[in-house]
Amino acid sequence: QQQVKQSPQSLIVQKGGISIINCAYENTAFDYFPWYQQFPGKGPALLIAIRPDVSEKKEGRFTISFNKSAKQFSLHIMDSQPGDSATYFCAASIFGNTGKLIFGQGTTLQVKP
């Protein structure tokens, strides 16, 4: 049973466009929602994270939107660049607990020049 569901599995966007990746979770105890970025041949690295006390968090071109009632959150990449081409994973955990992260299935993003 996948506790965090991520879509789409793959995404192709033109340079300058907006990339949107969506995640939905089931466990209402989750209260920390990070996004990890993984380049080919590398391990995932934390990109941006949000806690449910805010509905949006922005860092540069990357924004997380969070909808607590719908149990959904999404990553928006504005002005997408070829260097953003990577696999993106959403995740969820119970903050301050064990640090156990439950990951989504991943989205492979390709940004075409």
Sole window of 54-62, 65-73, 78-86, 90-98 interacting with other proteins (rule: CB under 8 A): 90-98
42 contributes a contact to other proteins by CB under 8 A: yes
DSSP-assigned letter for residue 79:
S
DSSP-assigned letter for residue 82:
G
12 contributes a contact to other proteins by CB under 8 A: no
**Closest distance of CB 30 from other proteins, Å:** 11
**Closest distance of CB 14 from other proteins, Å:** 25
* Neighbouring residues of 55: CB distance < 8 A, sequence distance ≥ 6: 65, 66, 67, 68
Residue 8: which of 111, 106, 110, 112 has the closest Cα?
Answer: 106
State how far the Cα of 107 lies from the Cα of 113, in Å rounded to an integer: 19
The residue (of 2 and 14) whose beta carbon lies closer to other proteins is 2
> Tokens standing for 8?
């789409």
Residues in touch with other proteins (CB under 8 A): 4, 6, 9, 32, 34, 36, 41-46, 49, 89, 93, 95, 98-106
